[in-house]
Chains A and B, each alone.
Chain A
């Protein structure tokens, strides 16, 4: 069964363009919903086709491969293809974007522009995950930056202009580093005709010289790391997330930070494995610091969005930790953690957004007893929290457990220590999650006016159920996800593992 991957980019772009022709919120949101629902459907069709291909014995590393020449003199082509890792990222994006549209159902202010930018962002993310050419990959990566500036600056809250500018500049700096790294790889490469190439497959087939790797790996990794909240370049995360409107927060934490993790894995580590091995201790060190620092910083927060933003720094640290360990289990765990965190944090932000829409506050001190007032929203808030602290039965447990198992396989004392320290952070996570849930959800109602408020509406419930089902399915049947990811991770390991000293 042939699948056209270009639809994944075309559908959001066409939806976005269609939105431009209408002004009414009702029409606009209906189009956005139709487009994103179609995209999710497409994602599932793709999943079915993908599984059918694999079941039929197709062992090619990338399925649905296609390549079109674009800027031929520069060796740039529009090359697309997916493996299980990319596919699961696409499904994650489709779920998050659809729920993002659903929770923005009452976006009265400039609704046309809002949904347009949201869909443009999602097109960037899909394009990024299907690209097998580093130039197009970079194109889509940058495409997913600037709409965020407008989304936060125009529709955000709090210090929105400051946050928008900080986020845009830091992410642009990240992409500047990435671009340097890509150029370095490009000029050290040769394709079949002796020309330089941006093609990921061609680049992976021939190892770059070690001297080039040592120079360009850190650039690429730090560049993508800025997207993925690598310590100490995580500072855009709290400000950006907390100022953004709900749907943009969901997108930022759910998808955008995954672009970074995915890039660190697929581009930096996969293409420059020797350098990855040299720099692995530093990656692990920074990831551990991010995990611990993020967790402790979260304890000090009193704003719900800041709590989730700092906890995202901590959770994304697990992704980088898994990548830094450079073995199959840990990398599988890292990918699982990306998906799990994407779903969980999107759900968390959705719940926080719903609470904020009703109570107009995100301060823990002003919230309390919400379970009596809005049982549905409170329940998803608690569930997202429990998933975040790694309760078995939810995806967070599966992902973090896999990362720890993989990390422990790495036998160096330093790596063991890092693993233990990261494990310990779970306790801190439990403290801040339970404290936040206890204060806001349980206990007496803090404000008598809150008693007048209503529970979630149908659209909010749908959004929550969509994300929740993803979390629960992965939590209960992790082997499905594992089977999907395994060939992809093995493919990466073929390159990464090649250089590992036994």
Chain B
């Protein structure tokens, strides 16, 4: 009985461990298996893992409340599983020829295990371990273009900046421990009273989160790391890793720092406006597609933070809903960029001029993804973004929402700039027609369906809403 409960609660993590060790064992017993079949095995394993995530779920606390599972956390884990699966499918044309293919996937899976523990944590120590488990392999992944020096630079930047942010985080955690006498979420929230020491500890903790979310002013690493990393890793960083941190951030703010809501509201409102504004202003000037998507994803984080400010049930629901939509939209955009980059090696926005003439289908996918990121109907991004703003407006801070709405117009400019390049500009040497393989094609199709249909689904939103909780 106890064992069943234990296994059920830890199911998602255990499944990923099984995937991880299967890859490892297959690697040890590798008998000249071709790269292609390697990649296919991994895709199938990850797909099975994603499907299994929906069955035989339990909920409850483990290890004295250190590890918690509930329906919302299960949903979040399934979303992240889907993200990993899509990234893995998209990485296919690039990783197929890479000599360290199994290692790539092992690192990916181990970051996800870290994120799962982080999301499920009910204790700051477990949270910290999960965070580190998800970050350190990420630096190795950023370094995975082995013959490009910019890639190792990206890895280096990633590990340095995350070490720095972890140090701040640990400082905050230890101050909290000194002030509250415990590190478990429930006892911290019970003893928290908003003394200056606790505020200081919170600010340090917040800094750690802001680093991982790449919120301004802790966003400097983002563009460089995205630019240097292989495209699938950048996609993974911008979607899955960000979503995981955002999920746990909402929990920490709503359930642990409940009594300090006024403090974090002010901080969050300020940081969200700065994040949107700076992300937008820098995105305007980018020439490299990956850097462009990096700054656009920074701006998107600002919108997520606005949704979080609401502190209401709608706020949490909108954040989860938006992140699901954002996963489809951003991976759709990264998917096309990845294909173009792995086939022709070109990553500049100017290279996309005249793209529609040679690749109409990919052009539409990229355009719809960008529209979804910009929040244009009928794509899902429209609903996601407006629900975030609606949730944010519930506090009555219309100035904040007004700034965000104006920024949606600014962001429209840079998204449309790419659409203009695709459809309207002429190019002497356009990207040649790309034959999308079956595997990345499948990923693209899932993203496209997600972009077109998740937004319209009132039931989905209602379901997420029913799982969410406010302060």
> Which residues of A are in contact with B by a Cβ distance under 8 Å?
69-74, 76, 139-140, 142-143, 145-146, 149-150, 153-154, 160-161, 164-165, 168-169, 172-173, 176-177, 179-180, 183-184, 186-187, 215
Docked-complex contact A70 and B458, CB < 8 angstroms:
yes
**27 pairs across A/B with beta carbons < 8 Å?**
A72-B462, A73-B313, A73-B461, A73-B462, A73-B465, A74-B461, A76-B458, A140-B377, A142-B382, A143-B378, A145-B376, A146-B371, A149-B419, A153-B420, A154-B424, A160-B424, A164-B424, A169-B416, A172-B408, A172-B409, A173-B406, A176-B405, A176-B408, A179-B389, A180-B401, A180-B405, A187-B393
Q: From DSSP, what is the main secondary structure of chain A's interface residues?
A: helix
With a CB–CB cut-off of 8 A, which chain A residues contact B54?
Answer: none
- Kindly state the separation between the CA atoms of A215 and B398 in the bound complex, as whole angstroms: 10
With a CB–CB cut-off of 8 A, which chain A residues contact B383?
Answer: 71
Taking A69-B458, A73-B314, A176-B406 as contacts, is the C-beta distance between A149 and B398 under 8 angstroms? no
- Kindly state the separation between the CA atoms of A251 and B424 in the bound complex, as whole angstroms: 21
Which positions 274-316 of chain B face chain A at CB distance < 8 Å? 313-314
Interface size class of B (residues with CB under 8 A): 20 to 34
Docked-complex contact B458 and A165, CB < 8 angstroms:
no
- A165 and chain B: residue at smallest CB distance: B416
With a CB–CB cut-off of 8 A, which chain B residues contact A74?
Answer: 314, 387, 390, 461
With a CB–CB cut-off of 8 A, which chain B residues contact A146?
Answer: 371, 376
- Give 8 nearest A-B pairs by CB, closest first: A176-B405, A73-B465, A70-B458, A183-B393, A143-B377, A153-B424, A172-B409, A173-B409
With a CB–CB cut-off of 8 A, which chain B residues contact A72?
Answer: 458, 462
Q: From DSSP, what is the main secondary structure of chain B's interface residues?
A: helix
With a CB–CB cut-off of 8 A, which chain A residues contact B396?
Answer: 187
Interface membership of B317, Cβ < 8 A: yes
- Kindly state the separation between the CA atoms of A145 and B314 in the bound complex, as whole angstroms: 28
- Kindly state the separation between the CA atoms of A255 and B291 in the bound complex, as whole angstroms: 39
With a CB–CB cut-off of 8 A, which chain B residues contact A165?
Answer: 413, 416, 420
With a CB–CB cut-off of 8 A, which chain B residues contact A160?
Answer: 424
With a CB–CB cut-off of 8 A, which chain B residues contact A150?
Answer: 419, 423
> Which residues of B are in contact with A by a Cβ distance under 8 Å?
313-314, 317, 371, 376-378, 382-383, 386-387, 389-390, 393-394, 396, 398, 401-402, 405-406, 408-409, 412-413, 416, 419-420, 423-424, 458, 461-462, 465
With a CB–CB cut-off of 8 A, which chain A residues contact B462?
Answer: 71-73
Shortest Cβ gap from A401 to chain B (Å): 39
Find B398's partner among A145, A161, A183 (CB 8 Å cutoff). A183
With a CB–CB cut-off of 8 A, which chain A residues contact B390?
Answer: 74, 183, 186
With a CB–CB cut-off of 8 A, which chain B residues contact A187?
Answer: 393-394, 396
Shortest Cβ gap from B423 to chain A (Å): 5
- Kindly state the separation between the CA atoms of A226 and B377 in the bound complex, as whole angstroms: 19
Taking A71-B458, A153-B420 as contacts, is the C-beta distance between A179 and B394 under 8 angstroms? no
- Kindly state the separation between the CA atoms of A187 and B401 in the bound complex, as whole angstroms: 13
- A135 and chain B: residue at smallest CB distance: B386
With a CB–CB cut-off of 8 A, which chain B residues contact A168?
Answer: 412, 416
- A144 and chain B: residue at smallest CB distance: B377
Taking A74-B387, A139-B377, A168-B416 as contacts, is the C-beta distance between A183 and B401 under 8 angstroms? yes
Find B461's partner among A71, A142, A215 (CB 8 Å cutoff). A71
- A20 and chain B: residue at smallest CB distance: B364
- Kindly state the separation between the CA atoms of A70 and B412 in the bound complex, as whole angstroms: 27
Docked-complex contact B423 and A153, CB < 8 angstroms:
yes
Shortest Cβ gap from B461 to chain A (Å): 5
- Kindly state the separation between the CA atoms of A124 and B251 in the bound complex, as whole angstroms: 39
**Given A73-B465, A176-B405, A180-B398; 19 other pairs, CB 8 A cutoff:** A70-B458, A71-B461, A73-B313, A74-B314, A140-B377, A142-B377, A150-B419, A153-B423, A154-B424, A160-B424, A161-B424, A164-B424, A165-B420, A168-B412, A169-B412, A169-B413, A176-B406, A179-B405, A180-B401
With a CB–CB cut-off of 8 A, which chain A residues contact B416?
Answer: 149, 165, 168-169
Docked-complex contact B386 and A179, CB < 8 angstroms:
yes
- B318 and chain A: residue at smallest CB distance: A74
Shortest Cβ gap from B417 to chain A (Å): 8
- Kindly state the separation between the CA atoms of A140 and B405 in the bound complex, as whole angstroms: 18
Shortest Cβ gap from A22 to chain B (Å): 14
- Kindly state the separation between the CA atoms of A490 and B398 in the bound complex, as whole angstroms: 33
- B455 and chain A: residue at smallest CB distance: A139
Shortest Cβ gap from B405 to chain A (Å): 4
With a CB–CB cut-off of 8 A, which chain A residues contact B393?
Answer: 183, 186-187
Shortest Cβ gap from B90 to chain A (Å): 25
With a CB–CB cut-off of 8 A, which chain B residues contact A179?
Answer: 386, 389, 405
Shortest Cβ gap from A9 to chain B (Å): 11
With a CB–CB cut-off of 8 A, which chain A residues contact B413?
Answer: 165, 169
With a CB–CB cut-off of 8 A, which chain A residues contact B376?
Answer: 142, 145-146
- Kindly state the separation between the CA atoms of A176 and B251 in the bound complex, as whole angstroms: 30
- Kindly state the separation between the CA atoms of A76 and B387 in the bound complex, as whole angstroms: 11
Most buried by B among A73, A145, A150, A165: A73
- Kindly state the separation between the CA atoms of A76 and B378 in the bound complex, as whole angstroms: 16
Shortest Cβ gap from B386 to chain A (Å): 7
- B466 and chain A: residue at smallest CB distance: A73
Most buried by A among B401, B413, B419, B424: B424
